[in-house]
A and B are shown apart, each in its own frame.
Chain A
Amino acid sequence: VAGIELPHKQWPELIEALLSNTHQVVAHTKQATLETLGYICEEVSSEAIDQSEVNKILTAVVQGMNASEINNDVRLAATRALYNALGFAQANFSNDMERDYIMRVVCEATISPELRIRQAAFECLVAISSTYYEKLAPYIRDIFNITAKAIKEDEEPVALQAIEFWSSICDEETDILEEYGGDFTGDSDIPCFYFVKQALPALVPLLLETLLKQEEDQDQDEGAWNIAMAGGTCLGLVARTVCDDIVPLVMPFIEENITKPDWRQREAATYAFGSILEGPSADKLMPLVNVGLNFMLNALMTDPNNHVKDTTAWTLGRIFEFLHGSTLDTIITPANCPQIIKVLLHSMNDVPNVAEKACGALYFLAQGYEDVAQSSPLTPFFQDIIQALLNVTHRPDAGESRLRTAAYETLNEVVRCSTDETASMVLHLVPVIINELNQTFEAQNISSEERERQNELQGLLCGCLQVMIQKLGSSEPTRSLLLQTADQMMSLFLRVFGSKSATAHEEAMLAIGALAYSSGPDFAKYMQDFYRYLEMGLQDFEDYQVCAITVGVVGDLCRALEGNILPYCDGIMTQLLKNLSSNQLHRSVKPPIFSCFGDIALAIGENFEKYLVYAMPMLQGAAELSVRTSTDDDEDMIEYTNTLRNGILEAYSGIFQGFKGSTKIQLLMPYAPHVLQFLDSLFMGKDMDELVSKTAIGVLGDLADTLGSNAGPLIQQSVSSKDFLNECLSSDDHLIKESAEWAKLAISRAISF
């Protein structure tokens, strides 16, 4: 109730009334009061409560947390309440005395005899690490000691939070350092205090020790999370934060443990190695990986322990992910490549969790050859790889450990990164996958669990076909050979829409978009059957990803069918306009809908006439909104605003270009002043990103080109046609410059008459 009333300044006496309860002698009442205060802080935004009340809440909460509070339930409720109240405590954390006091109470609570209190207190420290990173310097030494003791000695729920504190500090410092952008003078508001770097010599041994505390069979349990997993994850984050400095601290542990008879030691050493592969430079890692690679390949084949093999395959995947690719001195050579592939394919017959990691490693191995132009080192093994992956998908235990998904996803990456040399093999794979998809429809009267599996498989197979359509459709002659199977594929995709799975719908829709793009005008024959599903996709507000993908497919259809999309435009435009007016639809779908207006207008030209009266006011409203929100400080909002502006501008471009040469250009004249005003506001707002600048200056050209001398005087009055244009003409970005050249040419013609 407070969550509803407090933001409206109703029930003003509530907080005072609750606070008066905290002096109660009855522990139950005190506990319930603190819990209620905690819930209120969790539910209500910080603006809804005055600072004076925040102060009183914090005082009551911190008093309840104090070691002098003998009732554990009260102390626990207070500690949890503080966790929720931290977001309100900006002012209090800026005051040295108040902050010192809060920090002291929190740190004391981390050594309470009661486990739940210690756990909650560490949760507070984790939250403080991300909310008040910049205030932590005076306390970090003490916090290190507290967390170190907890990681070493405390029970798992507490130790996990203590590790999480350092993971969270790593996140903060990586974010700050990324904002610095390498020059250390960047515009980050918060300085980096290098807490991780300072703690490194003591922190790394602590984390390495946790790696030895694995649970048996943890890799078979999808939901498992324990101290070894948390420690390794934190070690990986530390490596990303401090880069090269971590390597000498970890290598002795690896060397000491990797050949030990106890599987825990071998696994911990391998996990440590895998964890530090992201962050340190290739120069630092390459010699170590070169030495370790053969050992790992051998371990994957022969280690008697599944857990060790799982981590070894994962580590190989990390090696390929971070140390293999066209821009690097790759660790994969013609000499070791055959052996690597042999081992990975062999491991695909291993237990599901190991086979899944082997698929993952192959995924990154293939990805490293993404940019090879003509000949890929994978070509000689291509057929074997495809066959091995298909075999995996048919394993009776492929449902375990995400194995089937991993195999199809690896198949996708292998296809994406393939070259012309293997195009015929990819072509042969198409009917195989079509057949697999066809077979999923054969099982009737199945249980809901089996139905779910069937839908998942349909999604994977549609994904696979999408990748192959994109690959084979991108060049002749594979495109025409691929399209011989288009009828079959399309009829199966339409059957997938009969399922109730949003993921399967999304995958089928993506595949259809790719097929439309490859088919071009020939796609028209499927439109009658497909249209109802297209409309269904556009109406799917709940699964907004499906809706977003469908909007993108409308664009594909416009480019494929051009004028032939006209019979379907009334329905599509009605739905798109409805979507824009809805406050239920996720906001991220709205900018692409505007871009889609441009696609439709470009395809149907002056036939867009009847939609102008609906679309233009929508665009105008959104444009005004996007200018008004330009002063917002929120980074997400700035990004969204730029996406929205780009969508609006793409709509204008498509509309102007679509009407070009039409006798009906006069219909656009009433809207021209607003479009120019929008461009001027964007220019004067000075907060456009480069993409918006490029699109905006392009719109100026399109407007001038289509309206010509009709708009000459208007254009001359606009700031955009002078200052903005000049700015873009001297841009370093060649795309902005090219659009500006276009605008200059079109304007000079428009004003010369």
Chain B
Amino acid sequence: MAPHDLRRQYKRPAISDQHRRRELSLRRQEQNRRDAQLQARRLASTLLSLEQASAEPDDVEIVPEFEPDLQSE
């Protein structure tokens, strides 16, 4: 039975910069993946909306389902 080590962090930040670099990279990659998927969906839904609109000639106003703004999230 090894003696219990009770040393705690002393005058050290809770998160190291190395940890932060890793976390920020993972976050960037996740964001890039979501952006890529979202972009594909927004493009498809704009086309679908146009398609539906043209199938209904009475409806003159064409409103795309989503704003083509890729900045959000």
Contacts and interface: CB of A to CB of B under 8 A. Distances in A.
A609 interface: no
Given A39-B1, A602-B37, A321 B13 contact: yes
Contacts of A552: 25-26, 29
Interface size class of A (residues with CB under 8 A): 35 or more
B48 interface: yes
A463 interface: yes
A742 B29 contact: no
Contacts of B8: 167, 230, 233
Interface string A308-331: 001100100100010000000000
Contacts of B10: 224-225, 229, 232-233
A392 interface: no
Given A80-B1, A360-B13, A599-B33, A701 B41 contact: yes
B45 A742 contact: yes
User: From DSSP, what is the main secondary structure of chain B's interface residues?
Assistant: helix
A161 B29 contact: no
Contacts of B51: 749
A606 interface: no
Contacts of B66: 738, 741-742
Given A470-B28, A602-B37, A698-B41, A463 B18 contact: yes
Nearest to A157: B3
A702 B22 contact: no
B32 to A, nearest CB: 6
A199 B33 CA distance: 51
Contact of A466 (B4, B6, B21): B21
A559 B31 CA distance: 12
Contacts of A701: 41
Contacts of A80: 1
Contact of B45 (A225, A360, A412, A745): A745
B28 A517 contact: yes
B61 interface: no
B25 A549 contact: yes
Interface string B31-65: 01100110011001100110110000000000001
Contact of B32 (A517, A698, A738, A742): A517
B1 A698 contact: no
Given A513-B29, A742-B41, A745-B49, A549 B22 contact: yes
A698 to B, nearest CB: 7
Contacts of A360: 13
Contacts of B3: 123
A40 B8 CA distance: 28
B44 A746 contact: yes
A173 interface: no
A160 B49 CA distance: 69
A277 interface: no
Contacts of B49: 745
Nearest to A405: B17
B30 to A, nearest CB: 8
A657 B37 contact: yes
Contacts of A749: 48, 51-52
A352 interface: no
A702 B42 CA distance: 11
A470 B24 contact: yes
Interface size class of B (residues with CB under 8 A): 35 or more
A400 interface: no
Nearest to B41: A742
Interface string A629-655: 000000000000000000000100110
A42 interface: yes
Given A602-B36, A654-B37, A742-B45, A735 B29 contact: no
Contacts of B24: 470
Contacts of A368: none
A172 interface: no
A362 B23 CA distance: 21
Given A556-B32, A650-B33, A746 B48 contact: yes
A552 B65 CA distance: 32
Contacts of A229: 10
Nearest to A171: B8
A660 interface: yes
Contacts, number: 123
B18 to A, nearest CB: 7
A332 interface: no
A467 interface: yes
A38 interface: yes
B1 A735 contact: no
Interface string A18-45: 0000000000000000010011001000
B6 A126 contact: yes
B33 A161 contact: no
A463 B25 CA distance: 11
B16 to A, nearest CB: 8
Nearest to A463: B21
Contact of B25 (A35, A123, A514, A742): A514
Nearest to B10: A229
Given A126-B6, A412-B17, A741-B65, A510 B25 contact: yes
A745 B65 contact: yes
A660 B25 contact: no
Contacts of A118: none
A328 B17 CA distance: 23
Contact of A164 (B6, B28, B48, B65): B6
A378 to B, nearest CB: 18
Nearest to A81: B1
B62 to A, nearest CB: 14
Contacts of B11: 219, 310-311, 314, 357
A682 B13 CA distance: 39
Contacts of A650: 33, 37
Contacts of A549: 22, 25
A240 B11 CA distance: 16
A64 interface: no
A149 to B, nearest CB: 19
Given A413-B17, A463-B21, A653 B37 contact: yes
Given A514-B25, A602-B37, A225 B7 contact: yes
Interface in A539-564: 545, 549, 552, 555-556, 559
A602 B36 CA distance: 9
Contacts of A265: none
Interface in A214-231: 219, 224-225, 229-230
Interface in A592-613: 595, 598-599, 602
Interface string A32-61: 000100110010000000000000000000
A299 B16 CA distance: 27
B35 to A, nearest CB: 9
A321 B52 CA distance: 54
A552 B32 CA distance: 11
A545 B22 CA distance: 9
Given A164-B6, A463-B21, A559 B1 contact: no
List 9 A-B pairs, minimum CB-CB distance, nearest first.
A409-B17, A225-B7, A164-B6, A552-B29, A314-B11, A742-B41, A233-B8, A657-B40, A229-B10
Given A555-B29, A602-B40, 8 more contacts: A35-B1, A38-B1, A164-B6, A230-B8, A506-B22, A555-B32, A657-B41, A701-B41
9 contacts: A80-B1, A123-B3, A463-B18, A467-B21, A513-B25, A549-B22, A602-B40, A705-B44, A705-B48
